[in-house]
Amino acid sequence: MFYEYINDLGIAGCEENLESYYSIDRVKYLLDEVFINGLVINVESDKRIFKRNYYDLRFYLDLLSQEDIYRIYKKQDDIDIFKDINSVIASLYSNNKKNINQLLKFITFHTMAECVSLKAFNYPDIGGSSEYFNDGKTEKVELNSVIINAVRDGESILINNSCDTIEKSGYEEYLSGDQVAVIGIPIFGPEKGIHNKERRLNDKKNDVYGCFFISTTSGVNMFNKENFKLMTSVSRLIYLNLENMKLFRHSNYDKLTGVLTRSFIENRLEELTKEYIETSSNFAVMMLDIDKFKSVNDTYGHQVGDRVLGAIGETLRENLRNSDLIGRYGGEEFLLILDNISIDDSFSVAKKLLKAIEGSKKYGIKEKVTVSIGIS
């Protein structure tokens, strides 16, 4: 990206291996153009740079402010990024999952990272793994288990082999492959006074609700002490959004079946009905009822009946889109809302559900479990 910015200033032909293409005088000219014309920084005024290797562009990042990095990204990619943490906070809203993705995006561009990976391992009900890739990367960046385990145990880690001014962490030997820099930050739960702090000194692991890592294989990065501290602040925002997601789930999901509660899905149905009147958008409503469910309870007991309800909830989640809503309407009744779907497609979906539920082996009883579905 840094080299592309040089080209964008009208200095054609800049390659990543500058030493193979240019003499020292030419490199001086290139960097002077970048810092004077592009970033309004006078190279001649900073005598430190003449003591450095002009082919090592990593040094010049020390001359850039975070504002300069923001301007480079905006000029090069014309993308929607946040200048600072206050901009991120102002953009957050009620969708906690999207908020977390916004925070991961901010982390990536603010540090010039190639990948940020979030692991929220204290949230089994909501599943807490998310990643954001920069520069069009799609492959998952692997981290050494020694680094992962240290952060999971509550240690914050900054490794940057491209920067001589950053103190060694002791984990440099555990960088994987071509990795040049890694930051690992634990996500702590709320502090509960001095007793909690004393306990944390002895057992940090119990207070870690998750962790995130940023990594890069490029020596041109902003993995520095300032951003290291900033990532700790971001971790608090991530924690709050994870907690809000968990609270939403506990408040609006039926614990037995893992689907939405009746009150939530009824409210959503009312909202969609109003939208339909205003926009004529299409959606389908299905009422699903388990056939002869009372005989299941009478024959096998309520524990088995609960297992059947849970299995049907799981089958519905497996066979519907993420955008579809599934709610438990009554004892053995489920209400389904399928947004943006035609009449023909809704019938196809209903047939698919009938087949999936009847063919499931999760119930633990010898009789077949069947359902009836009404569509509106």
User: Given pLDDT bands bounded at 50, 70 and 90, which one contains residue 328?
Assistant: very high
Per-residue pLDDT band at 53 (split at 50, 70, 90): very low
The listed CATH number (3.30.420.40, 2.60.40.3140, 3.30.70.270, 3.40.1160.10) that belongs to domain 262-375: 3.30.70.270
Query: Average pLDDT, stretch 33-51?
Result: 47
Interval 289-306 mean pLDDT = 93
| pLDDT tens figures, 104-118 | 888 888 888 888 888
For 181-232, give the secondary structure using H, E and C. Answer: EEEEEEEECCCCCHHHHHHHHHCHHHHEEEEEEEEECCCCCCCCHHHHHHHH
**pLDDT of res. 72:** 53
Is the pLDDT at 9 greater than 50, yes or no? Answer: no
Q: What pLDDT was estimated at residue 199?
A: 55
Per-residue pLDDT, 49: 43
> Over the stretch 329-362, which tens digit does the pLDDT of each residue have?
989 999 999 988 999 999 999 999 999 999 998 9
Mean pLDDT of 162-174: 86
Q: Which pLDDT score, from 0 to 100, does residue 119 have?
A: 84
> Residue 97 to residues 16, 102, 112, 240: CA-CA distances in angstroms?
37, 9, 23, 11
Q: What is the pTM of this model?
A: 0.65
Q: Do 269 and 285 meet the contact criterion of CB atoms below 8 Å apart?
A: yes
Span 57-95, pLDDT tens digits? 455 555 555 555 555 554 444 445 555 667 667 767 778
Task: Calculate mean pLDDT across residues 293-306.
Answer: 93
Please report the sign of the dihedral spanned by the C-alpha atoms of residue 93, residue 95, residue 96, residue 101.
negative
One-letter amino acid for residue 210 of the chain: G
Q: What integer best gives the mean pLDDT of the chain?
A: 77
Predicted pLDDT of residue 259: 94
Total residue count of the chain as it appears in this document:
376
Residue 226 has pLDDT above 80, yes or no: yes
Give the Cα separation of 116 and 133 in Å (integer).
Answer: 7
Paired residues of 326 in beta bridges: 336
CA distance 184 to 238: 14
Question: How high is the pLDDT of residue 82?
Answer: 58
DSSP string, 323-339: TSEEEE-SSSEEEEEEE
- Which long-range contacts link 146-151 to residues 24+ away (Cβ below 8 Å)? 146/171, 146/174, 147/171, 147/174, 147/182, 147/184, 147/213, 148/184, 148/211, 148/213, 150/184, 151/184, 151/185, 151/186, 151/211, 151/213
The residue with greater pLDDT, 33 or 264, is 264
**At 75, which amino acid appears?**
K
- pLDDT per residue as tens digits for the range 176-222: 888 899 999 999 987 644 445 555 555 556 688 889 899 988 887 88
Mean pLDDT, rounded, for 15-21: 46
As to burial, measured by CB atoms within 10 angstroms (0-12 exposed, 13-18 middle, 19+ buried), residue 361 is exposed
Q: Where in the chain is the domain with CATH 3.30.70.270?
A: 262-375
- Cα-based distances in Å from 357 to 257, 300, 341, 374: 14, 19, 21, 15
The Cα 246–Cα 226 span in angstroms is: 31
pLDDT value at residue 98: 82
Tell which wins on pLDDT, 279 or 316: 316
Most confident of 4-18, 30-44, 111-125, 148-162: 148-162
Distance of CA 35 to the CA centre of its chain: 34
pLDDT at 254 over 60: yes
| 171 vs 274: CA distance, rounded Å | 57
Q: How far apart are CA 310 and CA 4, in angstroms?
A: 54
- CATH 3.30.450.40 region(s) of the chain? 80-251
Q: What is the DSSP letter of 162?
A: T
**Six-digit token string for 107:** 């982390």
Maximum mean pLDDT: which of 27-36, 118-127, 207-216, 297-306: 297-306
Q: What is the mean pLDDT of residues 24-47?
A: 48
Tell me what percent of the residues of the chain surpass a pLDDT of 70. Answer: 67
Q: In this structure, what DSSP letter does residue 154 have?
A: T
Domain spanning 80-251: CATH 3.30.70.1350 = no
